[in-house]
Amino acid sequence: MQKNQLYKGSLSTIVLKLLNDKGKMYGYQITREVEQITTGELVITEGALYPTLHKLEAKGLLSVEIKTVNNRPRKYYFLTENGKEETLNLLNEMKSFIQNMDVLLNPKLA
Amino acid sequence: MQKNQLYKGSLSTIVLKLLNDKGKMYGYQITREVEQITTGELVITEGALYPTLHKLEAKGLLSVEIKTVNNRPRKYYFLTENGKEETLNLLNEMKSFIQNMDVLLNPKLA
DNA sequence: ATCTCATACCTAAGATTCTTAGGCAATATG
DNA sequence: CATATTGCCTAAGAATCTTAGGTATGAGAT
């Protein structure tokens, strides 16, 4: 997603949370949205995104709806029920991760 | 480091920051320390730690000092000058990562 | 008319990081 | 004497991402 290795592992969480909030989105739109929200700091490459979308669909967390717009097909993804549950799990894991990073990297001087 | 993929990429940051604060530590001690600080939530496996220590040493960020204690050798690692600089860089990257996760995952409802 | 850019999808080889599953050795404990 | 703890290590494989392509439509510029 950039030179920073920390983002590795966070892509599914980001995608699911976006879909949770926006209802449905297509791949290209997700890359634009993330870039805009982070003011260009996080750029999701398509080589990372599309395999991730396919994986989440294969796991039953996403469903697809194809719409043709401007004579080009768009694949709109949206959360299944399992996807909504998993989104909550992943958000909790992210909270836990950030808390653990906080105690590790910002220790209270005993 | 556990089932949670989010920790992927954070190990070097954790190790460098610990050494920055404690001065010098040996591998086994690092695993105990992290487990204790996070109350068992984060367990660093030795299969991840030792290759990382060797990589950081090869990059010139760490130096080693071998001491024999209880008739067993310990390899104490400590930061080089480059290691101190890189620690600051990685801590800044972690801050940036957490900020970007915040805007992505906790959006202010426009 | 052709060139380039933005849109919109995709895959595959390789890099990086970690897990899993071992191996070796000394000391302490039951 | 068997097991747990300490303390080091490696190697095969999994998971995630980067890099570097490919395909195609439509709009705007030269």
Domain of A26 in residue numbering reads as: 5-99
pLDDT band at A2 (very low <50, low <70, confident <90, very high): low
In total, how many domains does chain B have? 1
State pLDDT tens for residues B14-29: 999 999 999 999 999 9
State pLDDT tens for residues A45-99: 999 999 999 999 999 999 999 999 988 899 999 999 999 999 999 999 999 999 9
B89 within domain boundaries: yes
A82 within domain boundaries: yes
A106 within domain boundaries: no
B83 within domain boundaries: yes
A50 within domain boundaries: yes
State pLDDT tens for residues B55-95: 999 999 999 999 999 888 999 999 999 999 999 999 999 99
Contact: A10, B6; criterion CB under 8 Å: yes
pLDDT band at B108 (very low <50, low <70, confident <90, very high): confident
Residues in chain B: 110
Distance from C-alpha of A64 to C-alpha of A54, rounded to nearest angstrom? 10
pLDDT of residue B106: 93
Q: How far is CA B18 from the centre of its chain?
A: 6
**Residue A70 CA, nucleotide D29 C1', distance (Å):** 21
A108 within domain boundaries: no
State the first-to-last Cα distance of chain A, in angstroms, to the nearest integer. 37
More confident residue, A37 or B109: A37
pLDDT of residue B110: 65
Distance from C-alpha of A33 to C-alpha of A55, rounded to nearest angstrom? 20
CATH number at residue B39: 1.10.10.10
pLDDT of residue B68: 93
pLDDT of residue B109: 73
Residues B27-40: what's their mean pLDDT? 96
B7 to chain A, any CB pair closer than 8 A? The answer is yes
More confident residue, B2 or B42: B42
A105 within domain boundaries: no
If one counts every other C-beta atom within 10 angstroms of the C-beta of residue A64, the result is 13
Q: Is-contact A20 A87, C-beta < 8 A?
A: yes
* In the predicted structure, residue A4 carries a pLDDT above the cut 90: no
**Residue A49 CA, nucleotide D17 C1', distance (Å):** 10
Contact: A9, B14; criterion CB under 8 Å: no
Q: Give me the residues near strand D, CB below 7 A.
A: A 1-2, 7-12, 44-48, 51-52, 55, 70-72; B 5, 8, 26-29, 32, 46-47, 50-51, 53-54, 69-70, 72-75
State pLDDT tens for residues A14-36: 999 999 999 999 999 999 999 99
pLDDT of residue A31: 97
| Bridge partner list, A73 | A68
pLDDT of residue A11: 98
Distance from C-alpha of B28 to C-alpha of B23, rounded to nearest angstrom? 15
Contact: A4, B104; criterion CB under 8 Å: no
pLDDT of residue A110: 64
pLDDT of residue A70: 87
B97 to chain A, any CB pair closer than 8 A? The answer is yes
H helix or E strand, kind and range, residue A76: strand A72-79
Contact: A8, B7; criterion CB under 8 Å: no
B38 within domain boundaries: yes
**Residue A47 CA, nucleotide D19 C1', distance (Å):** 9
Chain B hits for A97, CB-CB cut-off 8 Å, are: 4, 6-7
Helical spans, DSSP H, in chain B: 11-22, 27-37, 46-58, 81-105
pLDDT of residue A38: 96
Percentage above 70 pLDDT, chain B: 97
